[in-house]
Amino acid sequence: MIYLDNAATTKPDGEAVEKAGVYLNEKYFNPSASYKEGFALQRELKETREKLVAYIADKEAYDLTFTSCGTEADDTAVFGYARRGNAVTSAGEHSAILSPFAELKNRGIAEPRYAPLKKDGSVDEEKLLALVDEKTSFVSVMHVNNETGAINDVNEISKRVKAKNPRAVFHSDGVQAYGKIPFRISPFIDLYSVSAHKIGGIKGVGALIRKKTLAFHPYILGGGQESGRRSGTENVFGIKTFEYAAEKKFASLKAEYGRLTDLREKLYAALDLEIFLRLSSENSSPYILSVAARGCRGEILLHMADDKGLLIGTGSACSSNSKNRYSRVVLACGYDEKTADGVLRLSFSPSTTEEEAIKAARILNEAAADFRNGKV
């Protein structure tokens, strides 16, 4: 089996899982307990928060609240900070942002405004800034597009947003960026969402990184865990797996960035370019390559590839249950429905080999040729 759907989820890092096993079998206590074992876990969680923040930000200026996933982190940001007036985002955001934005309108909280995308899936920065005014309370721009891999310069965008409205809270969904692309948060970014299972952690753990000077508005209420910011007993095993996986990812980040850039280009070069149209730009994240198969249905090619042992995606796995046949991101990039119907997303991890990439291209070439020749 060749697994190239790592933007959906990654295989948990075996070493990280094994190292964190002690928190299942020995240190299984509730961190909120009043005995010394509980206090010890609280101290460990504090250290983990600081480590995860320090990879991309000044831990003296930013803190981190654990959540159940990236979606919860995004929802916490939107519903915690969007207020009366308007809230601005892009048409290419993950559903974890777009669905809450639609709900802002349904609940009469704020007017949602959507900036268009460029051809590669990045936000049109000038048109986004044109939507920001004195009534804008919240702006959210994803760091790396989960379908095309387009990288938004969120440091520069946030700086320009703050210059236009210093009171607007700026958030970025960094789920496809954290641990994958070289980056340090600028002081103009207030909130940043991350997820464990995109970098070798396990499902069920995410986090919202927050500038400490920004008041926190809890989204989930209850027992007051996470210093009152997110109620619910912490998933210590998942959190420690996240810590250990992140440690490995950041240690190899620059080397993997270069290696996967080369691997992605070799895979693309091995595709039949008379059939496959490139949607991801050369400057996009090396972890994602999106293409469109001319004259083919992406969903059918996905199943044909699956039969041959290649696992890929057709867009966002988190929106795969949607009734919409076409990727809204690809349509927002300006492509027609015929092109959007043939979209395939290949996404990589540190374990992806060049041999697997070349074999994947061969499988896709064969599947597309069979589809065109009616051998379905």
Catalytic sites, residue numbers: 318
| Cα–Cα distance, 120 to 342 (Å, whole number) | 16
Spatial CA neighbour of 368 closest among 292, 318, 301, 317? 301
Angstrom distances, CA of residue 15 to CA of 242, 328, 344: 11, 38, 31
Token pair belonging to 266: 């070799």
Spatial CA neighbour of 296 closest among 369, 221, 244, 212? 369
| Cα–Cα distance, 209 to 118 (Å, whole number) | 28
**Contacts by 29-34, CB closer than 8 A, 24 or more apart:** 30/233, 31/225, 31/233, 31/234, 31/236, 32/223, 32/225, 32/233
**Measured in whole angstroms, how far is the alpha carbon of residue 177 from the centre of its chain?**
6
Burial tier of 63 (Cβ tally within 10 Å: 0-12, 13-18, 19+)? buried
| Cα–Cα distance, 291 to 28 (Å, whole number) | 45
Number of H helices and number of E strands within the chain?
A: 13, 12
| Cα–Cα distance, 352 to 62 (Å, whole number) | 33
Place of tokens 């109620």: 231
Amino acid at 72: E
| Cα–Cα distance, 217 to 210 (Å, whole number) | 11
Cα angle at 33 between 30 and 39, to 5 degrees?
95
288-293 and 343-347 as β-strands: parallel, antiparallel, unpaired? Answer: antiparallel
